[in-house]
Amino acid sequence: MTRNVDHDNKGSEAERARPRLPLSTVLRHDVPASLVVFLVAVPLSLGIALASGAPIVAGLIAAIVGGVVAGALGGAPLQVSGPAAGLTVVMAETINQFGWVVTCAITVAAGALQVLFGLSRVARAALAISPAIVHGMLAGIGVTIVLGQLHIVLGGEAQSSAIDNVLELPGQIIDLHDTAALLGLLTIALLLLWSRLPAVVRKVPAPLAAITLVTVLAMVTGASAERVDLPSEVMELSFVPIFPDGGWFDFGVAVLTIALIASVETLLSAVAVDKMHTGPRANLNRELVGQGFGNMASGSLGGLPIAGVIVRSSTNVAAGARTRLSTILHGLWIVLFVVALAGVVESIPLAALAGLLVHVGAKLVNMAHIRQVLKHGDLPLYLVTLLGVVVIDLLTGVLIGIAFSLLLMLRRTMWSGIHAEGKGNHRRIVVEGVLTFLSVPRLSTVLNSIPEGSHVTLELVVDYLDHASFECLSNWLDAHERAGGTVVVDEIGHPWFANGKSDSPTVRRDAVEPSAPRWLAPWSEWMAKDADVEIPDQRTEPLRRGTSEFQARTAPLVQETLSRLASGQQPHTLFITCADARIVPNVITTSGPGDLFTVRNVGNFVPEPGDETAADDASVGASIEYAVSVLRVREIVVCGHSSCGAMKALVGDVPDGMPSLERWLRHGEPSRRRYATAGTVTLDGQVPDLPGDRLALHNVLQQLDHLRRYPIIAEAESRGELRLTGMYFDVGNAQVHLLDADSSGFEPAGTERPVRTG
């Protein structure tokens, strides 16, 4: 579901405008949802604290603050905040470098910086980062978590870097610690198998079920694996962060790193959560402010940094949450859990939490994301970011990804959309996209590959052409023509090159007027640029040039559609209109191949059944019979138009020497009699000034009457299987009008009540 929503300033307005939900609804939806999120959050928070190298209780403090503070103050009502797996790597590095108490001060400072981000309204800027970089960052974090936590699953200790973890892993596998390895691997197995169990069982969250079952098993069997260690007074929150005595540059880098990563992860999660529900939209700037205050509180109390997290947030939405009360309550449930069940927490084996984190880390390497970036050609960017995060560190990996994305952008600007086609003496050069000085090396290479004396068609399908590119093209064109060759410059869209050659004033890119696509523009417009160039079969035979244009540009786009229609047609509408060259049925009805079964004749006449003159030409009757009886069309449209030559002839005199036309126009006599005797027919509430246009309106009504005299049409209409519609096209104003059922006048399309059945 796609929504065009201004996340910066409309979220809070929508939330204020939304009526308050009754208490019964809140109790029925938000309270149960908060319990489900609480059950998921507890094991994840403990595991993330373990992976970060922080005190175990720091994960619980962060979960509580994320629920209560960020949940109450943030701008994404259904988003759940807490310790995030995406921050584990940078937190482990920060704790190792600064120690825990200084790290808490870093968290407080990062929160203050996030508040400034929100107040300065820069939230949307974070969304400019390429999704390939974000997905690569998350995958790199996932790989790092898996490599580190596998050692704990196997009963050992994680190494200081991902590379060391890889090098030490074979020895860890050989030297298995039996009890810990069994508990860790059993946790992973339960998490993998849980989704395949019956739905009734799956109502219990998989992380909670796996940790509970493994913990119970460890307690029953008396397993000697290492357990969670909580302080004796777990809720004694008298801790105060300590700022360092020196090294302020490194301190500032750590603050900026945590603030940026937490902000980006939060914003991306908030946008994703918005797509999952129909409630109030997120106010991203307010969300950053709420996250900032949450991190200031968490760091002050000795907790990990918090961020909006997609796993818990999606669980919250899926569980039926309606308001931010669900997020706040889940934090309060954690407080009660820690106070009342601290002993249970201390019974959890560390290997079980490590197994949970291995599963979480592996899910960060999302195959759907990999397929998506592959489809968009960004797999190299994804892999570079992933490797940078794993091999070096998270911030450096992201910066490398951003730098590489800029290089890819420059390469695509320089190399894409410039190529040559053809062989021998006839060549075609196609230039597409934005043509700037960055493209000149590639452009010059392609131009200089064209043999001297050849005939060249230079197709420019460019959004912008700067001075350097213009000079390159102009100089080559002059040189090629001096060497005996010919060049036809075919500009599709704004005439950047033609204006430059004629010394016309430059036009700002944002002031360029849109031009009609060639499938709509007459030949005389888009071929006019070649009027002074002697090119065989192009100036004298526009049809041949037009078919060449179709084969080169349109055929590749419609081939798949036409392939599906190759075995037969199933049009929706029989469209009867005039042979006038200005009427293009598929354009004015926004339809394509296979939609309209079209009958065209001078005056859009439908001969009356049984009319003696109808025997002269049975093609219209044959088309009607085939369309209704065989094709089963559901609508018949009669379309007249302004400035119709047939109508002018009927109100005046038929030109001499055209006996066939004179005989055909007899089918218009009923319309002329109707025009002379019936009342006026209006067009958008007015009577047209010209007699021919007034007659054209009556003519549409008369042809609809003729259609209803065909037995097959009358029967189909009476059964409700067919409807008849009157249409009039005002050529000069490019306006379609449809017959109004009540007023018997024609109204602009979109405002009418068209004739249906009967």
Q: Are residues 86 and 222 in the same domain?
A: yes
Number of independent structural domains in the chain? 3
CB 735 within 8 A of CB 748: yes
Q: Are residues 223 and 156 in the same domain?
A: yes
Residue 216 in domain: yes
Residue 744 in domain: yes
Q: What is the length of the chain?
A: 758
Tokens of 515: 């031009």
CB 427 within 8 A of CB 420: yes
Residue range 434-439: mean pLDDT, rounded: 84
Q: Are residues 488 and 597 in the same domain?
A: no
Q: Which helix (H) or strand (E) holds 430?
A: strand 426-435
Q: Which helix (H) or strand (E) holds 332?
A: helix 325-340
Tokens of 273: 């959560």
Q: Are residues 586 and 484 in the same domain?
A: no
CATH number at residue 641: 3.40.1050.10
Tokens of 455: 């005939």
CA distance 554 to 577: 25
- Closest among 410, 499, 395 to 133, alpha carbons compared: 395
Q: Are residues 479 and 338 in the same domain?
A: no
Determine how β-strand 81-82 pairs with β-strand 723-730: unpaired
pLDDT in tens, 610-666: 765 555 578 899 999 999 999 999 999 999 999 999 999 998 877 778 888 888 999
Residue 176: how many CB atoms within 10 A of its CB? 13
Rounded to 5 degrees, φ, ψ at 245 are: -80, -20
CA distance 390 to 145: 10
pLDDT in tens, 548-596: 778 877 788 788 888 888 888 999 999 999 999 999 999 999 898 999 9
Instruction: Please tell me the predicted confidence (pLDDT) of residue 538.
Output: 47
Q: Which helix (H) or strand (E) holds 525?
A: helix 523-526
CA distance 55 to 40: 20
Which pLDDT band holds residue 504 (cuts at 50, 70, 90)? Answer: low
CA distance 382 to 368: 13
Q: Are residues 333 and 421 in the same domain?
A: no
Residue 392 in domain: no
β-bridge partners, 420: 429
Q: Are residues 372 and 449 in the same domain?
A: no
Last residue of a domain, one of 340, 370, 386: 386
Is the pLDDT at 441 greater than 80? The verdict is: yes
Range of the domain at 724: 570-748
**Alpha-carbon distances of 685 from 261, 444, 726, 737, 749, rounded to whole Å:** 62, 60, 16, 11, 13
Burial code of 495-525, b = ≥16 C-beta within 10 A, e = fewer? bbbebbeeeeeeeeeeeeeeeeebeeeeeee
Which pLDDT band holds residue 353 (cuts at 50, 70, 90)? Answer: confident
Question: Three-state SS for 664?
Answer: helix
Taken in order 709, 710, 716, 721, the sign of the CA dihedral is negative
CB 394 within 8 A of CB 140: yes
List, in order, residues 6 or more apart from 430 with CB less than 8 Å away: 417, 418, 419, 420, 421, 459, 461
Instruction: Please tell me the predicted confidence (pLDDT) of residue 130.
Output: 81
Q: Are residues 691 and 737 in the same domain?
A: yes
Is the pLDDT at 179 greater than 50? The verdict is: yes
Give pTM, 2 decimals.
0.59
Burial of 372 (0-12, 13-18, 19+ CB in 10 A): middle
pLDDT in tens, 135-176: 888 788 788 878 887 887 777 777 767 787 788 777 777 776
Q: Are residues 347 and 474 in the same domain?
A: no
CB 736 within 8 A of CB 748: yes
CATH number at residue 430: 3.30.750.24
Last residue of a domain, one of 477, 500, 515: 515
Instruction: Please tell me the predicted confidence (pLDDT) of residue 250.
Output: 92
Tokens of 565: 């229609």
Alpha helices (H) in 365-509, listed in sequence order: 367-375, 379-391, 394-415, 440-448, 467-482, 496-501
Q: Are residues 605 and 702 in the same domain?
A: yes
pLDDT in tens, 278-313: 788 889 999 999 999 999 999 999 999 999 987 788
Tokens of 664: 């055909």
CA distance 584 to 573: 15
Q: Are residues 502 and 613 in the same domain?
A: no
Q: Are residues 330 and 421 in the same domain?
A: no
Percent over 70 (pLDDT), the chain: 86
Rounded to 5 degrees, φ, ψ at 604 are: 45, 55
Last residue of a domain, one of 498, 515, 532: 515
